[in-house]
A and B are shown apart, each in its own frame.
Chain A
Amino acid sequence: MPSSREAMVHRGDEDEVCPVCKSSRYLNPDMRFLINPECYHKMCESCVDRIFSSGPANCPVAGCHKTLRKNRFRKQTFEDINVEREVDIRRRVMTVLNRREEEFDSKLDWDNFLEQREEMIFNLVNKVDVAKTEANLQKYAADNMSSIRANQALEAKEVTSFQERQNQEQELARMRRQAAREEYENERKEILAGREDVLTRLASGQPADAAAIAREGQKVILKKSSARRSEEERIRQKQAALRGTDAKKPGQTTATTAEEAGSGLIKGLKKVKTPEPEKPYDPFGGMVPNKRDYYSLQDDYPSSYLDPIRQDHRMLAGGYDLQEYYSRTLLEAFAGLGCFIDEEVSKREANSFNFVKPVGTHGALAATPGSQGDK
């Protein structure tokens, strides 16, 4: 491939002249032409080195005032500079507008998108409404940075997986060929061995058996070849099955990962439901374990009654912890301080009107098992 491109590039170059330094290929056979996608003016490598080595400079072609940089210079791929330019533009637009078909609601929307993209490319190539189109494109790129990047990553992945598959298939084909070759070789050897066997037996055996021995030898060869054929069949089937699974795989890689649907430029994008990010597991369900509202627990409370315990090994050895006592007493000191029973209970009774009374009377009945006798 590169060699053919090289040939193409050099095809009509015999009388080419660098528009900047006017040296021709005739004088300098190693001369190579480079272009810059800013203005697509052609110039030779030595001119690029000379003019742009010391940083960006204006294009030396008369009338063109574009500022060029050395690192953007590259070899021309197509002979026609217009084609070259269009391909460049197309590539640039395609990297930005890289929506995928599965991101659209309907086929119509996808087609509309494709048409829109083509129109933009056309505009840029033919210099119609360039400023507006460029603005649109830039705005879109800024708005949809993440989805563009995601789609790029997806594409890159697809390319690599495709390449992998290609390699795999080639490898398989190579192995198949090798197996077939070995097969053939084996077969040939066996036929030879069989023939030799028959000959030795004929030589050592009775003349009357000759026909029988010859028939037998034929049969053995036939049997072997048929066994081989069935073996081959089996292998082929296995390979077919293998290929089937290979064919299924690429389907899985095309998962939609578009993020935001609200791009003004493109219509008909699917509403993307970003899955709620899973919250970190909270064993207390939002409660802070040692949070208290009425008091803050201290490590130590002065008390003539409790202090001796700190030194008492008999109590401490058993695992007694004064901290437990502190936390329990203080919790009990304030648990329910803000519960106003007259309010809360009456509310509770209002909510479930026959809550207390039936239970009470029921309790009274249940608590008097002898009450059957009373009635």
Chain B
Amino acid sequence: MIEDDFYRTSSQFRLWSFTEDSLRSLRRNTNTLASDRVRDALRRAREARKSASSSAVGTPNPNASDADSKTGDEKDIECLTPEEEQDLVRYFCEQIVQLGESYKPPLPTIVRATAIQYLRRFYLTNSPMTYHPKTIMPCVLFIATKTDNYYMSLRQFANGVPGDTSAEDIIAPEFLVMQSLRFTFDVRHPFRGLEGGIMELNAISQGLGQPAPHNLQQTSDDLRRAMLSLPLPPNTSSSSISDRLARAHHNAREILKSAAQMTDAYFFYTPAQIWLSALLLADRPLAEFYLDTKLGGAGPDPTHPLTQLHAKLLTTLHNCSTLLQSYKPLASDPDQKKAMRRIGKKLYHCQNPEKVNNLAGQKRIPAAAAATAATASANDHDHATPESEMEQIAKKRKVEGDARRKDDIFGGELVMERTRERQGS
């Protein structure tokens, strides 16, 4: 099928599609790596403190002292399990939805969905222990507004983020996130696909449907008649076909907005399968009828490729819809809430101390340079004017540049060379 080949070229299929096993092992791997680093970092911090042997004033992380006071043994640092990490990420995915809702006007669903997928992809190769989701989450949403063409200035965006997060804080991990996304910003969502399907079902219901290319003997009248004679889904009163379609559309869309985002559906299934599964949950007879019009033309012959595809697709859709059904919103489930609180507490203890403030180093280069220069000059002499600060930065850069130029096989910057020559002559 040619449409499938189109999808196979997408980065979502090439880089961000996994089997359940490979996804699990990838998460486990990320988790082990991060836990090891956390343990190493905490041990180093402790040793540094011991060697200082003074009071615990200078410790970077107070929780380390707690752990230290209880036991000196590093085994007691309990790290998050992959499942806990996953729950945590899901919690922040829900936070993205809420944050998007808080803007006036609310951010479009597709922006939020893209942001959620970015966050999920980010935490495939990074652990919440290394980078706390609460710093990554706004950044991811901001990137999504850009990649989805929903323009919003950074200041405007920062105003909407709760807490005292500054604009700088939001974009600090931007490059890090983009790198972890492997610079693939294309997320294929099932939303538009659902619109297309409903559009076609509408056409069929009005007797304007066209036969599928592999099923040319259908006529639009046949299709319409078949559709009108569909059995109703359970626990619905009989109503007109357009109402039924509208209801199915609405329910499927709700599923796509919530369950499809909060589960691993995007990693395991293609958008077309996801929206059809959502439709299957919303109105099973209707979805099955739709699938039959597309792939049912082969007749009873079990070896026909269309029949085989149909059978395989039904099981896949069934699996996908079970996955979608398994989702329970966090807000409605007190058990999950409790678990989340526990995970949050645990994360507080096993956060990698060397990464907590390190994100500042990830800031965009000019900002970072200005910040470091400012602190350096403040240490040197307190009454430095901004001009002298700038001079100092320039001097520092020049010294560094000279040192670097010796190693650089291509020589230093051209402009610098030229000015020097001019001064020399």
A positions within 8 Å CB-CB of B: 287, 291-296, 298, 300-303, 326, 328-342, 344-346, 349, 356-357, 359-361, 363-364, 366-371, 373-375
B29 to chain A, nearest CB (A): 6
Bound complex: CA of A138 vs CA of B257, how far in Å? 82
Within 8 A of A (CB), among B70-128: 124-126
A-B contact pairs, 12 of them (CB 8 A): A292-B3, A301-B200, A326-B199, A335-B7, A335-B193, A336-B271, A336-B273, A337-B276, A357-B26, A371-B37, A374-B354, A375-B40
Which residues of B in the span 265-316 have a Cβ within 8 Å of any Cβ on A?
Answer: 267-273, 275-276, 294, 309, 312-313, 316
Measured CB to CB, the nearest residue on chain A to B178 is: A367
Partner of A293, one of B2, B33, B268: B2
Give A306's nearest chain B residue, CB to CB.
Answer: B199
With A335-B270, A335-B272, A338-B309 in contact, is A367–B180 under 8 Å at CB? yes
The residues of A that contact B312 with a CB separation of less than 8 Å are 340
Contacts known (A334-B3, A336-B13, A339-B4); A363 close to B125, Cβ less than 8 A: yes
Closest 8 CB pairs of A and B: A336-B7, A336-B270, A329-B196, A333-B196, A333-B193, A337-B272, A363-B125, A293-B1
CB of B17 closer than 8 Å to a CB of A: yes
A356: nearest residue on chain B (CB-CB)? B22
- B270's nearest neighbour on chain A, judged by CB, is A336
- Name the A residues within 8 Å of B362 (CB-CB): 369
Least Cβ–Cβ distance between A297 and chain B, in angstroms: 8
B200 to chain A: closest CB distance in Å?
Answer: 7
B182 proximal to A (CB < 8 A): yes
Question: Are B2 and A292 in touch, CB under 8 angstroms?
Answer: yes
Q: Are B273 and A337 in touch, CB under 8 angstroms?
A: yes
B54 lies within 8 A of chain A by Cβ:
no
Q: Are A345 and B19 in contact (CB under 8 A)?
A: yes
Known: A293-B1, A341-B268, A360-B124. A332 touches B193 (CB 8 A): yes
Known: A303-B199, A333-B193. A338 touches B268 (CB 8 A): no
- Distance between Cα atoms of A34 and B3 in the complex (Å): 80
| A208 CB to nearest B CB, Å | 81
Whether a CB of chain A sits under 8 angstroms from the CB of B212 is yes
Check A335 against B3 for contact (C-beta < 8 Å).
yes
Q: Which residues of A contact B355 (CB under 8 A)?
A: 368, 370
Determine if B203 is an interface residue (Cβ-Cβ < 8 Å). Answer: yes
| Also in contact, A339 and B13, with CB within 8 A (given A292-B3, A356-B26, A371-B37) | yes
Residue of A whose beta carbon sits closest to that of B189:
A332
- Give Cα A373–Cα B313 distance, bound, in whole angstroms: 49
Q: How far is the CB of A336 from chain B (nearest CB, A)?
A: 3
Contact for B126 among A292, A301, A368, CB less than 8 A: A368
A337-B5 Cα distance, complex, nearest whole Å: 10
User: Residue on A with the closest CB to B208?
Assistant: A302
A301 and B213 alpha carbons, distance in the complex (Å): 17
Q: Which residues on the A side are within 8 Å of B192 (C-beta)?
A: 328-329, 332-333
A41 to B340, CA, bound (A): 121
A200 to B248, CA, bound (A): 126
Q: Among B20, B34, B124, B199, which residue has the most Cβ atoms of chain A within 10 A?
A: B199
Which residues of A are found within 8 Å of B6, using beta-carbon distances? 331, 335-336
Q: Are A296 and B210 in contact (CB under 8 A)?
A: yes
Q: Are A367 and B199 in contact (CB under 8 A)?
A: no
Q: Are B200 and A295 in contact (CB under 8 A)?
A: yes
Given A302-B203, A330-B196, A363-B125: A340 and B316 interface contact (C-beta under 8 Å): yes
With A287-B2, A302-B202, A332-B196 already in contact, the answer to whether A345 and B22 are too (CB < 8 A) is yes
A344 to B316, CA, bound (A): 13
Name the A residues within 8 Å of B3 (CB-CB): 292-294, 331, 334-338
Contact between chains at B25 and A329 (CB < 8 Å) = no
CA distance A369 to B365 in the complex (A): 14
State the Cβ distance, B296 to closest chain A Cβ, in Å: 12
**How close is A332's CB to chain B, nearest CB, in angstroms?**
4
- Determine whether the beta carbon of B354 is less than 8 Å from that of A295: no
Tell me, rounded to whole Å, the shortest Cβ–Cβ distance linking A205 to chain B: 80
B270–A356 touching, CB < 8 Å: no
Per the bound structure, the CA–CA distance linking A356 and B276 in Å amounts to: 28
Contact A341–B30 (Cβ < 8 Å): no
**Hey, which chain A residues are within 8 Å of B354, CB to CB?**
370, 373-374
| Chain A residues, CB < 8 A from B185 | none
* A328→B25 CA distance, assembly (Å): 36
Question: Hey, which chain B residues are within 8 Å of A371, CB to CB?
Answer: 37
Measured in the bound complex, the distance between the Cα atoms of B362 and A329 in whole Å is 39
Note all chain B residues with C-beta closer than 8 A to A337: 1, 3-4, 270, 272-273, 276, 313
Q: Is the CB of B29 within 8 A of A295?
A: no
The distance in angstroms between the C-alpha atoms of A366 and B33, with both chains bound, is 13
B390 neighbours in A (Cβ, 8 Å):
none
Report how far A367 CA is from B213 CA in the complex, Å.
Answer: 46
Report whether B268 and A294 are in contact in the complex, using a CB–CB cutoff of 8 Å.
no
- CB neighbours (8 Å) of B273 from chain A are 336-337
In addition to A333-B197, A357-B26, A361-B33, 10 A-B residue pairs with Cβ atoms within 8 Å of each other are A293-B3, A301-B200, A301-B203, A326-B196, A333-B200, A339-B7, A341-B270, A360-B124, A364-B125, A370-B358
| In the bound complex, CA of A333 to CA of B179 (Å) | 30
A294 CA to B268 CA, complexed, in Å = 22
A369 CB to closest chain B CB (Å) equals: 7
Q: Decide if B412 is an interface residue (CB 8 Å cutoff).
A: no
In the complex, are the beta carbons of A294 and B358 less than 8 A apart?
no
Once A357-B26, A364-B33 are accepted as A-B contacts, the answer to whether A335 and B4 lie under 8 Å apart by CB is yes
A369–B314 CA distance with the chains assembled, in angstroms: 45
Bound Cα distance A113, B223 (Å): 73
Q: Mark B247-274, 1 if CB is under 8 A from A, else 0.
A: 0000000000000000000011111110
Q: Which residue of A lies closest to B4 (CB)?
A: A338
B157, CB-defined interface residue at 8 Å: no
1/0 per residue, CB under 8 A from A, across B26-48: the answer is 10011001100100110000000
In Å, the complex CA distance between A338 and B1 comes to 7
Nearest CB in chain B: distance from A44 CB, A:
78
A363 to B27, CA, bound (A): 13
Q: Report the separation of the CA atoms of residues A93 and B200 in the bound assembly, to the nearest whole angstrom.
A: 74
Please report the C-alpha to C-alpha distance between residue A349 and residue B34 in the assembled complex, in whole angstroms. 24
Contact A332 B188 (CB under 8 A): yes
Question: Is residue B8 within 8 Å, beta carbon to beta carbon, of the partner chain?
Answer: yes
| Bound CA–CA A332/B316 (angstroms) | 18
Q: Are A333 and B272 in contact (CB under 8 A)?
A: yes
Q: Is the CB of B37 within 8 A of A374?
A: yes
Residues of A within 8 Å of B294, CB to CB, are 294-295, 334
